[in-house]
Structure 1
Amino acid sequence: MPDRELVDHVTRSTGLTEAVAGRLVDDILAWYHEDVESYVRRRHANLHLHGVRNAQAYEQIAAELRERVVAAPALSARQLRRIVSG
């Protein structure tokens, strides 16, 4: 079971059952548990699939990382390239 206080809050504020609120909190926390390198690789592949060129993709990913709920370190375009390319 995830954080009891958070599940209680979600239950009270949404009217969801405790079981559903617990699953919801688990799902959200799992989403934000993704490490930086996995996130960068996944987002780069997704952006590349939609025709976004590398320079623009690295810029967009860096901006997204600054806005993540769990803050990631600031990464330069070169560091992002190294994560993607190895």
Structure 2
Amino acid sequence: MPVSGVSEPPVDLVRYVAGTTGLPPGIAARVVSDVLAYFGETVEQYVRRRHTELRRGQVRNAEIWARVAGELAARPVAAPVLSERQLRRIIYG
């Protein structure tokens, strides 16, 4: 899955990952693309994805909101602080 507007991962990063892990270049490129896509998610995409994952795991919404808020705060590029209401609006409109 390409990252917004990026069709191929940076060659130097793929070379680095392949060299440090011993992965073949094709696999290293896929890993780099997957990681870039993961961190390229918008806040809304992340909230929707995690809500779906946690609901499938039978987690109640009250717990989901607390978990998702904590996860957002811990991401390498921190998302803005969102209230429970803002999180609910992302899911339910």
Task: Name the TM-score, length of structure 2 as normaliser.
Answer: 0.78
* 2:87 pairs with one of 77, 80, 83: 80
- Alpha-carbon RMSD: 1.6
Residue 65 of structure 1 is matched in structure 2 by 72
Q: Which residues of 2 match residues 34-73 of structure 1 at below 5 A?
A: 34-73=41-80
**Structure 1: where are the runs of 5+ without partners?**
none
Give the Cα separation in 2 of the matches to 1:5 and 1:35: 25
Query: Are 2:50 and 1:16 equivalent residues in the alignment?
Result: no
**Residues 45-71 of structure 1, C-alpha deviations (whole Å, 9 max, x = no match):** 222222222221100000111122332
Q: Which has the higher helix share?
A: 1
Give the Cα separation in 1 of the matches to 2:80 and 2:12: 28
* Identity score, percent: 51
**Structure 2: where are the runs of 5+ without partners?**
1-7
Instruction: Report how many aligned residue pairs link the two structures.
Output: 86
Q: What secondary structure does 1:84 align onto? A: helix
Task: Name the TM-score, length of structure 1 as normaliser.
Answer: 0.84
Give the Cα separation in 2 of the matches to 1:36 and 1:6: 25
**Residues 20-51 of structure 1, C-alpha deviations (whole Å, 9 max, x = no match):** 21121112111222211121112112222222
